[in-house]
Amino acid sequence: MVHFAADENFNRAIVRGVLRREPALDIVRVQDAGLSGADDRAVLEWSASERHVFLTYDVTMMTRILVLRRVWRWLVCSKCPPN
């Protein structure tokens, strides 16, 4: 089963509507997990550790995280010895 985590800014009406149509889905709101007001990194780390697909409207956060990961991979790979 796929598990979801909905960010604080994610529309509650959407979560309620989806659960009404498919009550067996596992959707946890960040607020319900005790992470209300937590920084983006903490929320993403929690979501990943719980193996939840993260639902958010916060494009800025996701873009920043993806850019940092690409830069990190480039730095690590650029230090690797050639094959």
Model confidence pLDDT, tens digit, residues 18-76: 999 999 999 999 999 999 998 888 888 888 888 898 888 877 776 766 666 655 555 44
> Radius of gyration (Cα) for the chain, nearest Å?
16
Cβ neighbours for 18, distance < 8 A, ≥ 6 positions apart = 25, 27
- Tallying the residues shown for the chain, one arrives at 83
49 to 17, 29, 35, 43: CA distances (angstroms): 26, 15, 14, 10
For 34, counting Cβ atoms within 10 Å of its Cβ (0-12 exposed, 13-18 middle, 19+ buried), the class is exposed
Q: Tell me the pLDDT tens digit for each residue of 9-26.
A: 899 999 999 999 999 999
- pLDDT value for 75: 45
What pLDDT score was predicted for residue 4? 92
Question: pTM score > 0.95 for this model?
Answer: no
